[in-house]
Amino acid sequence: MKNTIRKIGVALLITIAAGVFTACHKDSSSDECKTDMQHVAGAYRLTAAKYKTSTTAAEQDFLPFMDACEKDDKIELSANGTYAYSDIGEKCAPDNSSTGTWSIKENTFVCKENDILDQGTISTFDCRQLVIYRDNIIVQGDRMTLTLTKQ
């Protein structure tokens, strides 16, 4: 009888623990990280830039080829479709700060009036990092991938 009660108690504890862990599991159907303007809006910093000369080429870190003054800049994307690109930290000469408009249409990110980040395809967005790529930047078949991290 004691063994039976003990087994029932252990089974009950396991059931309760499983319930607690699954109750805390995030619902995968949540629209929290949708790639629309409302959800993507926020302040970002460029944290990675990767370049491939072709689909079969090895990916290269492109950040070392950028000026130091470009690596610490911030872009604020507002849900109303405006952005502010701020040359903060180490200043470029001339200053790269600018404002303009941005949009997302069918997973394509478009940023008008910005030389550094003008257009690309959103490959992933997890509410913290926005990864955008663009093909045929320097040569036919190449790909530049930029990772922007929310600040």
Q: Enumerate the domain spans of the chain.
A: 37-150
Average pLDDT estimate for 116-120? 76
Average pLDDT estimate for 36-61? 96
pLDDT band at 115 (very low <50, low <70, confident <90, very high): low
CB 142 within 8 A of CB 122: no
Of 124, 130, 126, nearest in space to 102 by CA: 130
Distance in angstroms (rounded) separating the CA atoms of residues 40 and 84:
15
pLDDT band at 6 (very low <50, low <70, confident <90, very high): very low
CB 96 within 8 A of CB 87: yes
| Mean pLDDT over the full length of the chain | 81
The CATH number of 37-150 is which of 3.90.190.20, 3.10.450.50, 2.40.128.270, 3.40.50.720? 2.40.128.270
**Number of helical H runs and strand E runs in the chain:** 2, 9
With a pLDDT cut of 70, the percent of the chain lying above it is 77
Structure tokens at 4: 């039976």
Average pLDDT estimate for 137-149? 94
Which residues are within 8 A (CB) of 22 and not within 5 positions of it... i.e. 6 or more apart?
Answer: none
Average pLDDT estimate for 123-133? 96
Q: What is the CB neighbour count within 10 angstroms for residue 98?
A: 16
pLDDT in tens, 61-108: 999 999 999 899 999 999 999 999 999 999 999 998 999 999 999 999
